[in-house]
Structures are given as C-alpha cells and as structure tokens.
Amino acid sequence: MGQPRSERGLGIALVIAAAIAWSTAPFFTRLLPFDPWTILFWRGVFAGSLISVFLVAMQGRAALWQLVVPGRGSLLVASLSALGMISFIPALQMTNVMNVAVLIATQPFVAAALAWLWLGEAATWRTLIASLIAFAGVVITVGGVQAGADLGGLALSCLMVLAISSMTVVIRRHRQTSMVAAAALSNFMGSLVSLPFAHDIAHVGGNDLAILAMFGCLQVALGLTFYMLGLRLLPSGQASLIATLETPLMPFWIWVAFREVPAVHALIGGALVIGAVVADIAGDARKRRSS
C-alpha cells in the first residue's frame, strides 16, 4: 500500500519549513562579530535547549533520558548531524563560500545514491532531473567554483555533504527513533566540541546573547527538527532536493534586512532551483492523484 497523500504533503511542508529556517544563517551571522566557534558553541546551547523543551512537551520529562542514554539510531543520527555542523564552519574559513555552496548542492545526488545502496530506495527520474536543474541553479547563483580553492576546505565541505546525506538515510532507516532527541543531542555535541576553540566566549554581551538565542532557536532548532521529522515521510533524494531551496533564499533575507539587491545571476539561479523543486512536488502530486 502506498504512503497516504496527507503524510507526503506534511513531509514536503516540513522540509520546506526547514529550508526557510536554514536560509536565515547569513542574516544572523552578519549581526555577530565573533569567531565562528563561539557562534557555533552558543548556537548549539540555545538550539539544544529549545529542542529539549520540545521533547519534554511532546513526550514528558521521562523523554530526557533519551539524551542521557540514546539508542543506537539516535546516537548515529546525532553524531552525523554534529559532524556536518562542525565541518561547515572550518570549511567556510578555509575556502570560498561559493565553493562550499556548490558542493552542498550535490547532496540530493549523494543522498539518493546512499539510499539506493543501503535501503534499495531508488529515486525517480523526475527527482533526478529536477536535482540536476537545481544543481545548475545553485552553480549560477553562487557564480561558479573559483580556481585555486584550498583543498582542506573542499575536503571538509565534502565531509559535511557526506555526513548530512548519511544522516538523511539513517533517519529513513530508523524511523521509530526519536529524532527530536537526536536533534537536541547533536547540538549539545557540537557545542562541546566547539568549546576549546571558542576564543570570544567571554566577550558575548546581553544583546549578542539575544541574537545568538534567536539564531539557535530559529535557524537551527526549528530547521533541524522540521527536517528530521519531514525525512521520515519522504524519500531521501526528494527531501534533499527540497532542502536546496535554502541556497536561493539566503540572498533574499540579506536583501530584506540589509537592502543588498541580489545580482542577476543569483536571481536566475534561484528561479531554476525554485522551479525544479516546485516541478518535482507538482509531479509527485499528479502521480499520486492518478494512482
């Protein structure tokens, strides 16, 4: 029996919400004058705390035991998520943001390949073609990969893509695992690893803490929780494709907040990404109506 249409629609809505939340990262980063590790530490503390509140609200205080003694699936998801978050910051320091963004755009292909190898979950031709179009849109949006990029930064970017893609497939494999607990645990793990490198941690004032709290709660806690919940209802390749909406939305928030008009190539690339995602969702809906 096929998956109920309502579940599929909910999964799509959750992943779109996650992409919108994730896309606000450049906006918050612009407001914070600290080293990336300090931002990562405080962001993880606030995000992990809010997700823990979600966990208690949904399952009661006894659910906090899942943070202390996580199951194998939850621990694996949390570790992969934390690895992806930790790799992202150094990658941005070691190579151009454009290079990182282009590599992130390969995630739908990596996730689809891993899902096929491990779960036997084959992506549809429609999703694969839409992923190719979205990838082209991301390349246009960021202006193309620049030559002479640092190999260490590229390696960390590839590690991040592999970690998040693997997390995507593990969530599909362990659908009964508490993904809310895994999301909270991943943020606490990220904060713990970042602490030794957070040189500005003692210089964070009250206003900055408020911004960091919003950063952690909106961009990380809501985004990661929505994504993990949505992944349980969607094929890995399609979920990763929808998540690429994050890239064209990033310059949109910068335009809204700082009145920086996106370049023409960013508008063209963003239109391709959004068009590819909308076409895939519409095609999936038509297929389910006809069946």
Q: What is the DSSP string of the chain?
A: -PPPHHHHHHHHHHHHHHHHHHTTHHHHHHT--S-HHHHHHHHHHHHHHHHHHHHHHHH-GGGGHHHHS--HHHHHHHHHHHHHHHHHHHHHHHS-HHHHHHHHTTHHHHHHHHHHHHH--PPPHHHHHHHHHHHHHHHHHHT-PPTT--HHHHHHHHHHHHHHHHHHHHHHH-TTS-HHHHHHHHHHHHHHHHGGG-TTGGG--HHHHHHHHHIIIIIIIIHHHHHHHHHTTS-HHHHHHHHTTHHHHHHHHHHHHH--PPPHHHHHHHHHHHHHHHHHHHHHHHHHHH-
Which is more confidently placed, 121 or 194?
Answer: 194
- Reported as a single tens digit per residue, the pLDDT across 125-159 is 888 888 888 888 877 876 655 555 567 878 888 89
pLDDT at position 144, please?
Answer: 52
- Reported as a single tens digit per residue, the pLDDT across 67-125 is 888 888 889 999 999 999 888 877 877 776 667 777 777 788 888 888 888 888 777 88
pLDDT at position 1, please?
Answer: 45
Mean pLDDT throughout 250-263?
79
- Reported as a single tens digit per residue, the pLDDT across 16-30 is 999 999 888 878 888
Is a pLDDT exceeding 90 seen at residue 162? yes
How large a percentage of the chain has pLDDT more than 70?
93
